[in-house]
Structure 1
Amino acid sequence: MSTYLRCNDVKSNYYDEKEVTLRGWIHRIRKQKEITFVLLRDDRGGVIQFTIPTKKAIDLTIESCIQISGNVKKDARAPEGGYEIRGKDLKIFGTAPADYPIGEYQSQDLLLDYRHLAVRTRRMSTIAKIRASILKFSRQWFIENDWLEINAPVIVKDAVEGGSSLFEIKYFDRIAFLSQSAQLYLEAMVFALGPVWSITESFRAERSRTVRHLAEFTHLEAEAPWMYQEELMKVQENLVSFIIQNTLTNNSPDFEFLNRNVKELSSISPPFERMSYGKAVDILRSRDFTVLCGDGAHRKIEWGDDLNIESERELTKDCVKPLFVYEFPIDTKPFYVREDPTKSEISLSTDLLAPRGFGEISSGSERESDVESIEKRIEKQSLDPKAYGWYLDLRRYGSVPHSGFGLGMDRLVRWILGMEDIKDVVLFPRTMSRVTP
């Protein structure tokens, strides 16, 4: 692959009056009688204007792939940074039909139908760059703190979060499922490698149409031996703060392009606020917060109800920093969550809620290390103990106190970008109604 300049590279006094060659796609085009004005978009979303005699631009259309050579000229009137290129030589790699389906203003449904083309828009490419930085700095934090990254399978035999949300697949002559979480495999690895983590695609067959649910999502998960609830929260708040501050620095122009006010984000640092589940319920009851019953009626929230989207929004609507809610009722949590030995029916669990109503982005807990306790929980949740034989072996052979969490990266990106719908921050979202492109 030959080296060539990108649009933003040449926007400096150093290149003024120098001849350069750039490659990219036609973002906008305006043809006049003698001169044609073109906005060129490169493969990182940078844009610069070039001019070329109209007689050389007859075949140019929106999204045609080209190479342009010419002299850089500093001109305050030029859009996109005050520099333009006076084009001389033009090479066309691929001409696009004139009926390009995506115009300047389109519906969200059309943009999803043509997502394979919509990812070329400056908005989507900017989101993709910020998302890439978030993933990069996630990995960097774990590397710098001596956690080891592992790869877990996404084809599994059993549930982690409950059988009702599993995607079933045919696996040769057997039935298997798409993984809901890498957690159980991460737990196996703490015995061999200590603190471990992964970024994996997870799948939930939840019939949900909310602005924060996807059928396939990017899942960052981590497990560590001899880690307890307080340290578990510290790891998450340090990780999230590190990701945010480094991404703000690295992608400042991208946030500006998206008109994202980062004032509150720039103040995100440990420690995050902490609130017990009991206090959260008391606050919601004091505000006459209600939950929907099975018969369609509403009643005030009570101790034992899980927090839903609306309750999380109510708790965090005035927060400027993330909020940990801890000590949920044990019956609201999966079989592997440890019960507090000093408080009956209370779990040693935490949910991390993003501020301003963005809701849960992470959930974690101390893991139950006693094999008999896990067996009782598996039975109580009507799961098949035989299906978890290998997992129970982890407790039979040298069980260790340990904790872990799962962070929804798409939800994290949604909050950092301040966007309403999670589909806007995923390149190719998968929902109940959408499995293409």
Structure 2
Amino acid sequence: MKTTIAEVKNYVGQEVTIGAWLSNKRSSGKIAFLQLRDGTGFIQGVVVKNEVTEDVFQLAKSLTQESSLYVKGIIQEDTRSPFGYELLVHHVELIHQSTDYPITPKEHGTEFLMDHRHLWLRSKRQHAVMKVRNEIIRATYEFFNNNGFVKVDPPILTGSAPEGTTELFHTKYFEEDAYLSQSGQLYMEAAAMALGKVFSFGPTFRAEKSKTRRHLIEFWMIEPEMAFYQFEDNLKVQEEYVSYIVQSVVKNCQLELNTLGRDLSKLEKVTAPFPRMHYDDAIKFLHEQGFDDIEWGDDFGAPHETAIANSFDKPVFITHYPKAIKPFYMQPDPTRDDVVLCADLIAPEGYGEIIGGSERIHDFELLKKNIEAHDLPLDSYAWYLDLRKYGSVPHSGFGLGLERTVAWISGTEHVRETIPFPRLLNRLYP
């Protein structure tokens, strides 16, 4: 029976064949332990000299790291293994002998590992991070599909930008100027006016010369937009969505989280509702914590967000930021003209902002005034203004950065490990 490592639990006591790579091995005079991986998981293969032919045993002892092979044997339970099963090997067939594999079981520098990212992905830790990422993606589709959202794909090439063009990658679109999208939000607003509740999931780009552990040049965003949803409705969707993906990972990725050394008790606490802190109160709190450098009207940096997040064991919303530091499309607070109906969701444990969202301006004249005030070309936003001319309604949305969310849930320090092939300030290879 040909199967995969992920499925061996269904074949205890039976003989199976698995196509695999050798991630590591150790052997003594009479037994060889093969650490095998096949993409679906990792399992130990045990080759006992007295139970196989001499050729098979010598082949098992001579296998090199990352050689590919077919292994045949009996699946048996193993309580000592985190996986719970092992393979008692009867036969080994070599497919390809690997030589001089560069990533050996020793410490390697970050730059070396990033230069070999195409191979580093094979390691048990990187495999676990990618499986967590995949579960977040799967749960994202499940959540929005179950809640009546329609997936819409906004363009990646755009002629304008939701927040200006200072941090956008410029390119030529035949004879016109174009930019790689930093957000699909404006297009998603148009889609929401047609389909009610929509979400997108795709790559976005920021030409931001940052080297922090929270930043990538190319990253993936989940961006829902909802017609007839106001500020409070928006926050409710966000906390329900984040709770859903976290608990899906806890339920379906326990082996991977254990591989990563993640404290499950911290994730189990992440259930809606989430605490909230008004921007005014956040400023007061930071002053009490000794952050004398921050003043009302300033945006928060990583140390400020971390100090606030450390006061809670769940993600926390910081709401009602000053209008002057937020984009032109955000709805002003009806009780105060100097703040807008927006919120950033800050993850616990120092992982920073994972969601930015707001109620959007639905009044034509106010939106037009804001576009002009931000020195943006009205003709580029004519279609966006049309949404306020023809049946405008209150509407809201948000964007979740996938890689920061993967980093937080998996307990990974740097976002470069949360995407298969990261694009960083000085890295476009491999």
Q: In the alignment, which of 409, 417, 420 is matched to residue 416 of structure 1?
A: 409
Q: In the alignment, which of 326, 329, 340 is matched to residue 322 of structure 2?
A: 329
Amino acid of the structure 2 residue aligned with 1:214 = L
Equivalent residue number for residue 301 of structure 2: 308
Amino acid of the structure 2 residue aligned with 1:358 = Y
Equivalent residue number for residue 400 of structure 1: 393
Amino acid of the structure 2 residue aligned with 1:397 = Y
Measure the CA separation in 2 of the matches of 1:26 and 1:343.
Answer: 63
Equivalent residue number for residue 155 of structure 1: 157
Which consecutive residues of structure 1, in runs of 5 or more, have no partner in the other structure? 291-299
Amino acid of the structure 2 residue aligned with 1:315 = I
Amino acid of the structure 2 residue aligned with 1:29 = K
Measure the CA separation in 2 of the matches of 1:368 and 1:428.
Answer: 37
Show CA shifts across 1:256-312 (max 9, x none): 12111110210211110011100101111222314xxxxxxxxx3111111121211
Measure the CA separation in 2 of the matches of 1:136 and 1:367.
Answer: 28
Greater alpha carbon shift after TM alignment, 26-35 vs 421-430:
26-35
Equivalence map 1:11-410=2 (5 Å): 15-16=12-13, 18-30=14-26, 36-51=32-47, 53-57=56-60, 60-72=63-75, 81=84, 83-88=86-91, 90-97=92-99, 99-104=100-105, 105-290=107-292, 300-410=293-403
C-alpha change, 1:77 and 1:345, in structure 2 (3 Å) is: closer
Q: Secondary structure at the match of 1:101?
A: coil
Equivalent residue number for residue 5 of structure 2: 7
CA shift, 1:20, in A, is 1.8
CA shift, 1:50, in A, is 3.2
TM-score calculated relative to the size of structure 2: 0.93
Measure the CA separation in 1 of the matches of 2:330 and 2:294.
Answer: 23
Measure the CA separation in 1 of the matches of 2:89 and 2:424.
Answer: 46
Amino acid of the structure 1 residue aligned with 2:150 = L
Equivalent residue number for residue 426 of structure 1: 419
CA shift, 1:419, in A, is 2.1
Show CA shifts across 1:68-124 (max 9, x none): 123446677889646332322x32322212x10101222222111101001111111
Q: Secondary structure at the match of 1:264?
A: helix
C-alpha change, 1:352 and 1:82, in structure 2 (3 Å) is: closer
Measure the CA separation in 2 of the matches of 1:5 and 1:36.
Answer: 22
CA shift, 1:7, in A, is 2.8
C-alpha change, 1:116 and 1:341, in structure 2 (3 Å) is: same
Amino acid of the structure 2 residue aligned with 1:342 = T
Measure the CA separation in 1 of the matches of 2:197 and 2:97.
Answer: 51
Q: Secondary structure at the match of 2:306?
A: helix
Show CA shifts across 1:193-240 (max 9, x none): 001111111101111111101111110001111111111100000000
Which consecutive residues of structure 2, in runs of 5 or more, have no partner in the other structure? none
Measure the CA separation in 2 of the matches of 1:136 and 1:237.
Answer: 18
C-alpha change, 1:75 and 1:225, in structure 2 (3 Å) is: closer
Amino acid of the structure 1 residue aligned with 2:203 = E
CA shift, 1:321, in A, is 0.7
Contact kept in structure 2, 1:166 and 1:180, CA below 8 Å: yes
Contact kept in structure 2, 1:131 and 1:413, CA below 8 Å: yes
CA shift, 1:156, in A, is 0.7
Measure the CA separation in 1 of the matches of 2:271 and 2:26.
Answer: 47
TM-score calculated relative to the size of structure 1: 0.91
Contact kept in structure 2, 1:59 and 1:95, CA below 8 Å: no
Pairwise CA RMSD: 2.0
Measure the CA separation in 2 of the matches of 1:195 and 1:73.
Answer: 49
Measure the CA separation in 2 of the matches of 1:130 and 1:277.
Answer: 32
Number of aligned residues: 422
Contact kept in structure 1, 2:43 and 2:87, CA below 8 Å: no
Q: Secondary structure at the match of 1:345?
A: strand
